[in-house]
Amino acid sequence: MQKALEYVDKNLDTFIEDLKSICSIHSISAQDEGIDECVTRIREILEGSGLNVQILEMEGANPLVYGEYKPENYDKTIIFYNHYDVQPADPLELWTSPPFEPEIRDGKIFARGVADNKGNIIARVKAVESILKTAGDLPVAVKFVFEGEEEVGGVSLPKYMDKYKDLFEADIGVWESGDRHENGRPSVKLGYKGLAFFEFFVRKADRDVHSGRAGLVPNPVWRLVEFLSSLRDEKGKILIEGFYDNIKITKEDEELLKQIPFDDKETKEEYGLTEFAGKFEGFEALKSLYLKPTCNIDGIKSGYIGEGTKTIVPSEAFAKVDFRLFPGQTPQKLLENLHKHIEKHGFSDVEVKYHYGYESAKTAPSSFAVDIIRDATRKTYGMEPLIYPISVGSSPIYNFINKLGIPTVSTGAEYWGSLVHSPNENIRIEDFRLAVKNIVNIIAELYKHQTA
Range of the domain at 353: 195-249+291-358
What is the predicted pLDDT for the residue at 452? Answer: 60
Of the chain, the percentage scoring pLDDT greater than 70 comes to 100
For residues 340 and 245, is the Cβ–Cβ distance under 8 A?
no
Residues 350 and 445 in one domain: no
What is the predicted pLDDT for the residue at 69? Answer: 98
Is residue 269, in this structure, part of any structural domain at all? no
What is the predicted pLDDT for the residue at 153? Answer: 82
* Domain termination site, one of 358, 385, 402: 358
Residues 313 and 407 in one domain: no
For residues 150 and 396, is the Cβ–Cβ distance under 8 A?
yes
Residues 155 and 235 in one domain: no
Reported pTM:
0.91
CA distance 363 to 371: 12
DSSP letters spanning 161-223: HHHTGGGG--SEEEES--EE-TTS-BEEE-EEEEEEEEEEEEE-SSS-EEGGGTTTSPPHHHH
Those residues of the chain that have pLDDT short of 70 are 451-452
User: Percent helix, strand, coil in the chain (nearest 5)?
Assistant: 40, 25, 40
Nearest Cα to 39, choosing from 10, 64, 73? 64
Is residue 282, in this structure, part of any structural domain at all? no
Is residue 167, in this structure, part of any structural domain at all? yes
Residues 166 and 199 in one domain: no
Is residue 45, in this structure, part of any structural domain at all? yes
Which residues have a Cβ under 8 Å from the Cβ of 313 and sit 6 or more positions away?
204, 205, 208, 209, 210, 211, 213, 214, 217, 218, 219
CA distance 381 to 379: 6
**Degrees (nearest 5) of the Cα angle 71, 438, 370?**
85
Strand segments (E) across 380-436: 386-388, 391-394, 408-410, 414-415, 426-428
Is residue 286, in this structure, part of any structural domain at all? no
Is residue 90, in this structure, part of any structural domain at all? yes
CATH, residue 295: 3.30.70.360
DSSP state of 142: E
What is the predicted pLDDT for the residue at 83? Answer: 97
Residues 163 and 295 in one domain: no
Q: Domain total for the chain?
A: 2
For residue 160, what are the β-bridge partners? Answer: none
CA distance 191 to 193: 7
Tell me how long the chain is: 452
Which residues have a Cβ under 8 Å from the Cβ of 206 and sit 6 or more positions away?
315
Report the 10 Å Cβ neighbour count for 305: 7
What is the predicted pLDDT for the residue at 250? Answer: 87
Nearest Cα to 444, choosing from 142, 176, 191, 177? 142
Is residue 40, in this structure, part of any structural domain at all? yes
Residues 65 and 176 in one domain: yes
What is the predicted pLDDT for the residue at 336? Answer: 97
Residues 440 and 335 in one domain: no
Residues 65 and 89 in one domain: yes
Strand segments (E) across 17-63: 52-56
Residues 88 and 145 in one domain: yes
What is the predicted pLDDT for the residue at 47? Answer: 98
Compute φ and ψ for 142, nearest 5 degrees: -125, 150
For the stretch 375-408, pLDDT in tens is 999 999 999 999 999 999 898 899 999 999 999 9
* Domain termination site, one of 338, 358, 378: 358
CA distance 312 to 78: 61
* Domain termination site, one of 315, 331, 358: 358
Residues 100 and 17 in one domain: yes
Is residue 440, in this structure, part of any structural domain at all? yes
Residues 350 and 419 in one domain: no
CATH, residue 166: 3.40.630.10
Residues 41 and 111 in one domain: yes
